[in-house]
């Protein structure tokens, strides 16, 4: 029997292992993430930078009608890569979870707790019958205060997590997911400095994002930027993005 036939026998149901212990549907879901445009996250000492590649859209498409960066609850943010629709569902789950934490404990959820909850939700889709894995990966960033204390007391710290389609959470100093992520991570590995401030983190993230693009640089319209610091979730406007592209020396004349 040929290899493709073997594979067909084991990739019909998501909950069926192949004889060598692989879940093909989960691997295909990871492939779906790689087919999407890249998103990059970098943790600075005073905040987390999330940067998304928003190229490849028709000039007729209204700006910001398809979002890659998402405000989860005002202090946490998420960047999605892969299937946009699947990413939106995960983000909505994250938003509901963030609010239920407030109802249950009277406090906001922190990044590890939310990332773990998202990962549990994503993992369910790899084991339950009648469903398929999420075809989206997620970067979750935020600035955590300790439980019951305000971030303003200086005890808060920035955190960055990734959740992949298998439902595994992992914490990063800096990472990228989506198309060209390997190149972006190489750029992050050479440029990352644990002491860097969030503005430097944004610049590094944009430089890493530029490595995923075959064009000669990025335009303002190509890039979305969000920052999570003690003030919460904030996005860059076109002028801010233009400045960062210039500082990172990756701007392309549009």
Partner 1 sequence: MVERTTFDVPIEADANDSDGPVLKTGTTTVAIAADDAVVLAADRRASLGGQFTANKRVQKVEAVHTTAALAMSGNVGAVQSFARTLDAEAELYAARRGEELSMDALATVAGNLVRGVPAQLLLGGVDATGAHVYELDAGGGVVDTDYGAAGSGMQVAYGVLEGRAEPIDDAENARELALDAVVAASERDGASGNGAHVATVTADGVDVESRSVADLAGDGAAATAGGASR
Chain residues binding partner 1 by CB under 8 A are 103-107, 110, 112-113, 116, 146-149
Greatest CA span in the chain, whole angstroms?
Answer: 65
Q: Radius of gyration over alpha carbons of the chain, in Å?
A: 19
Place of tokens 């922190």: 110
Give the start-end residues of each E strand in 83-231. Answer: 136-144, 157-163, 169-171, 174-177, 223-229
In the complex, the smallest distance separating the C-beta of residue 230 from partner 1, rounded to whole angstroms, is: 19
Sheet holding 157-163, edge to edge: 69-71, 76-82, 136-144, 157-163, 169-171
What's the min distance (Å) between Cβ of 243 and partner 1?
A: 39
Q: Which residues, in sequence order, are CB contacts of 189 under 8 Å at separation 6+?
A: none
Q: Which is nearer to partner 1, 127 or 146 (CB)?
A: 146
Write out the E strands in 2-92: 39-44, 47-53, 69-71, 76-82
- 112 vs 232 by CB, closer to partner 1: 112
Helix (H, G, I), strand (E, B) or coil at 224: strand
Query: Which residue number, 12 or 104, has a Cβ lying nearer to partner 1?
Result: 104
Q: Least CB distance from residue 103 to partner 1, whole Å?
A: 7
> Closest distance between partner 1 and the C-beta of residue 48, in Å?
20
- Of 86 and 110, nearer to partner 1 (C-beta) is 110
Could you count the other beta carbons within 10 Å of the beta carbon of residue 128? 11
CB of 116 to partner 1, least distance (A): 8
Name the 3-class secondary structure at 182.
Answer: helix
Of residues 17 and 105, the one with the C-beta less far from partner 1: 105
Query: Which is it for the CA torsion 239, 192, 187, 156, positive or negative?
Result: negative
The residues facing 133 across adjacent strands are none
Least distance from partner 1 to the Cβ atom of residue 91, Å: 22
Output 14 or 163, the one with its CB closest to partner 1.
Answer: 163
Cβ of residue 107: shortest distance to partner 1, in angstroms?
Answer: 5
Query: How far, in whole angstroms, is CA 236 from its chain's centroid?
Result: 17
């Amino acid at each position: 029997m040929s290899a493709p036939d073997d594979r067909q026998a084991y990739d019909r149901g998501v909950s069926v292992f192949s004889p060598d212990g692989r879940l093909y549907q989960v691997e295909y879901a990871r492939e779906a993430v790689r087919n999407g445009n890249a998103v990059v996250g970098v943790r600075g000492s005073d905040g987390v930078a999330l940067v998304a590649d928003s190229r490849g859209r028709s000039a007729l498409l209204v700006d910001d009608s398809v979002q890659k960066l998402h405000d989860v609850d005002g202090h946490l943010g998420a960047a999605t890569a892969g299937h946009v629709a699947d990413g939106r569902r995960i983000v909505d789950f994250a938003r509901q979870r963030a609010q239920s934490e407030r109802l249950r404990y009277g406090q906001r959820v922190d990044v590890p707790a939310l990332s773990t909850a998202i990962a549990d939700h994503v993992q369910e889709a790899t084991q339950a019958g009648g469903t398929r894995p999420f075809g989206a990966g997620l970067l979750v960033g935020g600035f955590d205060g300790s439980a019951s204390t305000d971030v303003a007391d200086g005890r808060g710290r920035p955190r960055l997590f990734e959740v992949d389609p298998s439902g595994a959470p992992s914490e990063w100093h800096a990472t990228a997911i989506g198309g060209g992520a390997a190149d972006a991570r190489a750029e992050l590995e050479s440029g990352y400095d644990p002491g860097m401030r969030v503005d430097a983190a944004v610049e590094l993230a944009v430089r890493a994002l530029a490595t995923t693009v075959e064009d000669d640089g990025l335009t303002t319209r190509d890039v979305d930027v969000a920052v999570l610091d003690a003030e919460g979730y904030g996005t860059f406007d076109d002028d801010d993005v233009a400045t960062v592209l210039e500082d990172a020396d990756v701007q392309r004349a549009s």
